[in-house]
Amino acid sequence: MLTEQSSALAPQGQETSSDSTVYLVDDDAPVLKAVSRLLRLAGFRVEAFSSPRRFLHHHDSATPGCLVLDMSMPDLSGLDVQKKLLTDGKAVPIVFLTGAADVPASVCAMKQGACDVLTKPVERDVLVHAIHEALARDRASRHASEELAEFRRRLATLTPREHEVFRHVISGKLNKQTAAEIGAAEKTIKVHRGRVMKKMNVESVAELVRMAERGGVAPSAGEQGT
């Protein structure tokens, strides 16, 4: 299953994440034991499962981490597990392990978002590096989700008029253009604009535009500002 590459368990410059869990699923008991031991020695927190169904039952998507998953298992295949997680909205970064170079299955796994597909026997450092990459992807995904949730929370604090002004601001319109389009005094638009910037916790229109793009808020229709 594993081959030696170097004496260093973790690639230089990388650290394990104490708040993350590496889930390991393989129906081969000796392999499961060997890989679990390797990863624990490398400093990872590991939860090992010999049954993919048991993993699916116990997995908590709220827990940061990644999944090291055997591609070929008699109960549920690795691809079946991946599809189930995606269907249930519990996507987790996956590093697949396969005993043979199954190109179609590997392509399918990557198209569905797998981080990597490694062929057994896998070199120790290669596996550890792949897990670090998967955990980094998980952290980035969770950070993006947190930012989006915070954006939506702030957006919900805007009044209907402020939301309208928000969409005009991100379209690049000046206060006088917005005032003319929605039928309000320019000084009133200026006040609403200031409240929008404060509630959304931004200091520039450029920052507000980037935030709106990530949050899926469309600019107001009509003539764009210059």
Q: By CB neighbour count within 10 A (0-12 exposed, 13-18 middle, 19+ buried), where does 170 fall? A: buried
**What residues does 98 pair with on adjacent strands?**
119
Q: What is the pTM of this model?
A: 0.78
Interval 22-44 mean pLDDT: 94
Which of 42, 48, 61 lies closest to 129 in space, CA to CA?
42
Which of 212, 217, 223 lies closest to 180 in space, CA to CA?
223
CA distance 53 to 202: 46
> How would residue 12 be classed by pLDDT, with cut points 50, 70 and 90?
very low
Instruction: Look at residue 9 and tell me whether its pLDDT is greater than 60.
Output: no
Specify the pLDDT at position 103.
82
At the topology level, CATH places domain 2-144 in Rossmann fold (3.40.50)
For 108, half-sphere exposure in the C-beta direction (CA atoms, 13 angstrom radius) is 13
Give the start-to-end residue ranges of the domains of the chain: 2-144, 157-215
CA distance 106 to 167: 44
CA distance 98 to 128: 16
What the block records as the tokens of 73 is 């298992």
Q: Could you say which architecture CATH assigns to the domain 157-215?
A: Orthogonal Bundle (1.10)
pLDDT tens figures, 58-110: 999 999 999 999 999 988 999 999 999 999 998 899 999 988 767 888 899 99
Specify the pLDDT at position 120.
86
